[in-house]
Amino acid sequence: MEMSAPAKAGGSGYGRDEWPLEPSGYELRDEVGISKHGVVRRAYCPGCQKEVAIKVVNLDTLVGEGEVDRLHAQTTLLSSMSDEHVIQYHCSFVSKQELWIVMEYAAHGSCQLVMTGDDGAVQPLAEGHIAAILSSVTRGIAYLHAREHAHRDIKAANIMVHEDGRAT
């Protein structure tokens, strides 16, 4: 299955426009999430000296009509975004039957993970944390809307929380 995907970073802020476009350019670490179409892994890019998140999508599992086109459109859109309140896309490439999407890593994971206690029960967040997350999320949404785009799946599992408290 052939899929052309953007390869250049969009506003990564790391002073370089090129990221490795093959799996050997990354050291895969632990699994940090599961998405609709794949697994998200924490990884390290030795060439960039940065920790990243990599979503690996098995293209053979995209069986619905237009799923490949929708995924490509989402990746292309993400590559055009450059705002601190939108997760930063670095690159994507196809290796064998897998699409690798390399993005900014959020150390605290999803808001859903942050709200879940060790026993699996939802734990309330402090009012200050809620305010900070909502502030970041609304700024990210405003950025998208100003570019005439809408995020059609806003939920705790899709809000990433960074070490500095910023949410994307």
6: CB partners within 8 A, 6+ apart: 75, 76, 79, 89, 91, 92
- The rounded Cα 24 to chain-centroid distance in angstroms is 20
- The rounded Cα 107 to chain-centroid distance in angstroms is 12
Amino acid (one-letter) located at 99: L
Indicate which residue of 30, 119, 153, 164 is catalytic.
153
Query: Is residue 153 annotated as part of the catalytic site, yes or no?
Result: yes
CA atoms within 13 A on the CB side of 48: 25
Q: Output Rg (C-alpha) for the chain, integer angstroms.
A: 16
Could you give phi then psi for residue 96, rounded to 5 degrees?
A: 55, -120
Q: What's 29-77 look like in SS3?
A: EEEEEECCCEEEEEEEECCCCEEEEEEEEEHHHCCCCCHHHHHHHHHHH
Amino acid (one-letter) located at 135: S
- For the annotated catalytic residues, the residue numbers are 153
